[in-house]
């Protein structure tokens, strides 16, 4: 028999730590963003008290699935709505309901949706973002909802670049475009004219024996460069230079360093840090989370030079992949053509406002757009 525990406080969340650690080892898709360390710290710094709506699905008392959810107030146009969303979604590249056994997915998702529908006074819309396009959740959730007459909609969400490290550095580098190779050579020579250029990586065993004060000293270099870079003027709230994000990143870094997951790379010019790449290594995958560089050296491309060093060093360390995180922006195509697509599923409460939003955005607007397009084509054809 399946039961669902509803976790509403950080204290109750932390009480799951031991059981969570055992459970997370069983899941086939290892993901650092599924760890309780990541989830609990993200909730602590970025969400209001009592917004937590984390669901633990159990089979005869045994944990079989976790849905790390929160209730968040947002606006659609000028309308205030309450959304159930994945916790920490703005920081991650992909997310899903955490399930150890795929054979349990349908029953676990059915229990999750049943629980949420019973608590529909808490939400107007369920918006689950960044679900991998090959996840069975994208088929199962709409099937479950259709049976009970609940409206839902799925569309594409994000595209993320990644580099498979299955060849030597020489092979990988020779397969890059001639323009990138030429730029890397030229920028390196020009930067070396200014002084000594060096690379240092702080990762895994490299941090053995480091104290929290040592991590703080290292992170100050990252924070300083972040403030100088474009992130210093960012208002997204996820830039490392943001005060709340800074506190989160610092505590997270201390925690991840102890776990052997923290990964920081720095490029130095005459012993002065001029570029950083901040991330994590988990299950032999580098999650290249936050890069930055000194904008005074923009014309020397220190960020690209550092990325080349990180890729080369990751191959030497026998990592199997570099996840470049977040959107597949143009510069990433210089380094890889591989991408992962995620999708968004939206579920609408039967109340008047959410149902009206569903009908307007996903029925009326597409219908009007179709009619306008058809009329435009007729005019072009002279009919």
Contact 127, 87 (CB under 8 A): no
- Pairing verdict, β 79-86 and 125-132: parallel
Judge whether 67 lies within some domain. yes
Quick: pLDDT tens for 107-142.
999 999 999 999 999 999 999 999 999 999 999 999
Convert the pLDDT of each residue in 150-165 to its tens digit.
Answer: 999 999 999 999 999 9
Give the mean pLDDT of 205-234: 88
CATH assignment at residue 8:
3.40.630.30
Task: Report, as an integer, the average pLDDT of 89-96.
Answer: 89
Six token digits for residue 11: 């204290």
Q: Indicate if 40 and 185 belong to the same structural domain.
A: no
pLDDT of residue 383 exceeding 60: no
Examine residue 219 and state whether it is found in any structural domain, yes or no. yes
Query: Is residue 232 over pLDDT 90?
Result: no
Does residue 50 have a pLDDT over 80?
Answer: no
Model pTM? 0.90
In a domain, 337, yes or no: no
Count CB neighbours of 167 within 10 A. Answer: 12
Chain segment 5-36, per-residue pLDDT in tens = 999 998 999 999 999 999 999 998 889 999 99
The pLDDT value recorded for residue 157 is: 94
pLDDT value of residue 31: 93
CA dihedral 45, 49, 50, 53 (to 10 degrees): 0
Give the pLDDT confidence score for residue 161 in this predicted structure. Answer: 94
The mean pLDDT of 277-288, rounded to a whole number, is 96
- The whole-chain average pLDDT of the chain stands at 92
Q: Would you say residue 260 lies in a domain? A: yes
Domain count, the chain: 2
Tokens at residue 302, please? 């220190």
Tokens of 134: 């090959």
DSSP H stretches of helix in 120-211: 137-147, 169-174, 178-192
Model confidence band, residue 369 (pLDDT cutoffs 50, 70, 90): confident
Would the pLDDT of 299 be above 70? yes
Same domain, 127 and 99: yes
Residue 181 and residue 136 share a domain: no
């Amino acid at each position: 028999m399946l039961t669902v525990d509803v976790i509403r406080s950080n204290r109750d969340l932390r009480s799951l730590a031991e059981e969570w650690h055992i459970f997370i080892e069983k899941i086939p898709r290892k993901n650092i963003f599924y760890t309780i360390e990541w989830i609990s710290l993200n909730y602590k710094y970025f969400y209001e008290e009592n917004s937590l709506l984390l669901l633990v699905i159990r089979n005869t008392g045994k944990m079989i699935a976790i849905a790390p959810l929160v209730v968040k107030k947002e606006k659609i146009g000028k309308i205030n709505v309450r959304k159930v969303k994945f916790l920490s979604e703005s920081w991650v590249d992909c997310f899903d309901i955490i399930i150890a056994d795929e054979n349990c997915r349908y029953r676990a998702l059915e229990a999750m949706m049943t629980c949420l529908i019973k608590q529909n006074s808490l939400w107007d819309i369920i918006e689950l973002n960044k679900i991998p396009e090959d996840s069975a959740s994208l088929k199962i959730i709409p099937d479950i909802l259709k049976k009970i007459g609940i409206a839902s909609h799925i569309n594409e969400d994000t595209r993320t670049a990644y580099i498979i490290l299955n060849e030597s550095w020489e092979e990988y580098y020779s397969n890059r475009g001639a323009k990138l190779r030429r730029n890397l050579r030229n920028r390196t020579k020009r930067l070396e004219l200014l002084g000594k250029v060096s690379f240092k990586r702080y990762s895994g065993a490299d941090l053995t024996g480091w104290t929290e004060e040592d991590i703080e000293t290292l992170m100050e270099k990252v924070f300083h460069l972040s403030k100088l870079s474009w992130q210093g003027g960012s208002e997204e709230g996820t830039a490392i230079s943001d005060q709340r994000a800074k506190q989160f990143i610092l505590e997270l870094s201390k925690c991840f360093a102890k776990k052997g997951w923290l990964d920081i790379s720095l490029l130095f010019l005459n012993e002065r840090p001029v570029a950083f790449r901040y991330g994590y290594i988990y299950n032999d995958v580098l999650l290249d989370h936050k890069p930055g560089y000194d904008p005074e050296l923009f014309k020397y491309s220190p960020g690209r030079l550092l990325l080349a060093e990180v890729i080369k060093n990751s191959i030497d360390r026998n990592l199997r992949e570099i996840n470049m995180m977040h959107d597949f922006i143009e510069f990433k195509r210089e380094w890889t053509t591989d991408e992962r697509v995620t999708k968004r599923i939206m579920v609408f409460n039967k109340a008047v406002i959410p149902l009206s939003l569903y009908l307007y955005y996903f029925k009326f607007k597409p219908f009007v757009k179709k009619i306008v397009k058809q009329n435009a084509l007729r005019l072009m054809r002279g009919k």
